[in-house]
A and B are shown apart, each in its own frame.
Chain A
């Protein structure tokens, strides 16, 4: 079946919905391409990204439409007319057929673009625009349109002045709601595809730029413009995105995070220097970028800078390093250790992304606790997960006499324990209680071993508790 036809095919009398065999019979030389809905959706998203050059509020109206909220943006292009002309020219140049309309409501613009009315309509003209159009222009379901047609209602003008209650009773509330929305009597929010950034600066280039240094220079200039806005509201950027619009329509988005609110253009430039260096695929400017936009995706209140008090500089330097490393390697790879209030060794100290944490990390509290309970020594290295070992141990709760780990046999000469650590009995996933031992083998290697489960809890006939190595001491 044909799902879409181009202009040339349409002139030959072909139309969507025609069976392929029939179309072939009519025109044996017909050139067909199998439908690929995924590729279509991807193309629509790419175009949506590209449309960000006109407004940050772009929504996909699948399968083949885009909604742009150009409120307050049109004047940047010298008015709605030039904006539409620019959009149409660029899309046509890219080989895309398009039909564009500007109106005061989503419904009216939809109807005008798809059912061939004039391209622009001022607010309040929706009624005049919609009246001659078929009911399908109201974005109603096919079955509703069909049943309305059965009673002779075919155009929007037919229902626009009808008493509402009987219509609603017979055809459902959707008809009136869609009509009201198209007439701009009811508000219809546009759900943008991407969150709208609180701070945005952009720059168009008469001559496309291609070199990485130029991109960075532009980034710094844009950051400089954002700085004023950020300062005015006492904000700093925590997450920044650089959007580069290539002349051929491709759009590249590159984001970078920071460990604390930032507004210094130099620092922002340094962040993107690392991000660009870390890109797995090169920036690939093609014939160059003709527009760049820098958006602050997440802003946070930033304390006024304190100058010249000792210690502050060091911390700032450290944060800068964390940002640089995170930008290049990924925020998940740069971490700080945090102490948690837990007996479970795996949870008592965890590594969290350094950009997300402060610098204390709960260690002062841990030290107080350790001194209070005289906590037994903890290993210097902890395995990602405990590794099972074969042991010969004293029953029921003695230390192992020898054990085999990673194919090496270790003869235990010193052992200290057990230190019992209860499992998380309140949780479904909590394991059994563990008895930890510090042992030393004949060569002086020291291990942190545990027995998972106690002999006294053993079910009759059950297998003996398993042993694991969990960490190593120096």
Chain B
């Protein structure tokens, strides 16, 4: 009897979704979670890139879904240029996504250095379950990725980098995604998610639909697996033609 009460007490004392929470955050779609080995690893850095500038909202949708599932407090740090180019995350839209805006703190930073500093600072805060860092062009150096990964591992928070387009750098993030828009038949947000790096399993490509009533991703019912659209990388072409 007393032991049982003690156990319940221990359960109450544990901050929700933190240190002792499940190490992986399932996205909800079984096929994806299997490939990920249970879900997105907490306490690690994940990189989500939009297929191209126009797909920023799709990538944002993927991130918002993950963040909504992570629950608890969320810090969204964006470079000024990102907000200027692709708009800022909109409260009413986030709320429609099931991501309660009252749990969100937004931070605007002028430069990459501040972005990385703020992310690390937020990751080290025990109350924060998920930190999103939105950046535009340019590479993310390996030292920064390492620092952020370590900070995330310390608290078990989820670190997400949201990029305006896929980077060329071989980042050491736990997973890397390229997310683009996908045709939807209804109101539900739908994205095409390519898993291009996965340290713990196979890569893959899925069309995911966000269901805000259940707060989870599902595989789109009638979606055909699509071939990866060519990623537009003009500077590479130029480099080749020069060579």
Contacts and interface: CB of A to CB of B under 8 A. Distances in A.
Contacts of A380: 57, 60-61, 64, 89-90, 93-94, 97, 189
B56 interface: yes
A334 B64 CA distance: 19
Q: Which size bracket describes the interface of B in this complex?
A: 35 or more
B158 interface: no
A349 interface: yes
Interface stretch (B137-145, B165-173, B176-184, B233-241): B176-184
A39 to B, nearest CB: 32
B31 interface: no
Given A381-B86, A382-B87, A474-B62, A366 B102 contact: no
Contact of B117 (A328, A361, A377, A445): A328
A473 B100 contact: no
Given A446-B57, A474-B210, A329 B109 contact: yes
B88 A381 contact: yes
Contacts of B62: 474
A380 B55 CA distance: 12
A474 B118 contact: no
Contacts of B100: 363
B201 interface: no
Contacts of B89: 380-381
14 contacts: A315-B127, A317-B125, A317-B126, A322-B105, A329-B114, A337-B102, A339-B101, A351-B106, A359-B102, A380-B89, A384-B83, A444-B190, A471-B90, A474-B57
Interface in A356-395: 359-361, 363, 366-367, 370, 377-384
A297 interface: no
Nearest to A472: B57
B108 A333 contact: yes
A354 B75 CA distance: 12
Contacts of B92: 339, 345, 348-349, 366, 378
B30 interface: no
Secondary structure dominating the interface of A: mixed
A353 B94 CA distance: 19
A148 interface: no
Chain B CB within 10 Å — which of A324, A379, A408 has the most? A379
A336 interface: yes
A311 to B, nearest CB: 9
Contacts of A325: 105, 107, 118, 121-122
A321 B122 contact: yes
B88 A382 contact: yes
B58 interface: yes
B60 A444 contact: no
Given A337-B91, A348-B91, 16 more contacts: A313-B127, A314-B15, A318-B73, A318-B105, A322-B105, A324-B121, A328-B117, A335-B108, A338-B91, A359-B102, A377-B96, A380-B57, A380-B90, A382-B93, A472-B87, A474-B60
Contacts of A361: 101-102
Contacts of A408: 54
A181 interface: no
